Amino acid sequence: MKKYLFLTGAGISAESGIRTFRDSGGLWEDHKVEDVASPLGFRKDPQKVWKFYKERYHQSLSVEPNPAHYALKKLEDHIGDRFHLITQNVDGLHIRAGSNRVLEMHGSLNRCFCSNCKARYQMQEIDLQADIPICNKCGSQLRPDIVWFGEIPYFLYEIEEHLKKCDVFVVIGTSGTVYPAAGFVMTAKLFGAHTIAINLDRPDNFSFIDEFHQGKSGELIPVYIERIMESG
Among 69, 84, 94, 106, the active-site one is 106
DSSP 5-46: EEEE-HHHHHTTTPPPSB-TTSEETTEEHHHHSSHHHHHH-H
> Is 106 a residue of the active site?
yes
Neighbours of 54 (CB within 10 A): 18
User: Which DSSP state fits 141?
Assistant: B
Element holding 102 (H helix, E strand): strand 102-104
Omega of the bond leading into 180 within 30 degrees of 0 (cis)? yes
Element holding 146 (H helix, E strand): strand 142-146
Question: Nearest CA to 77 among 16, 159, 4?
Answer: 4
Catalytic residues: 106
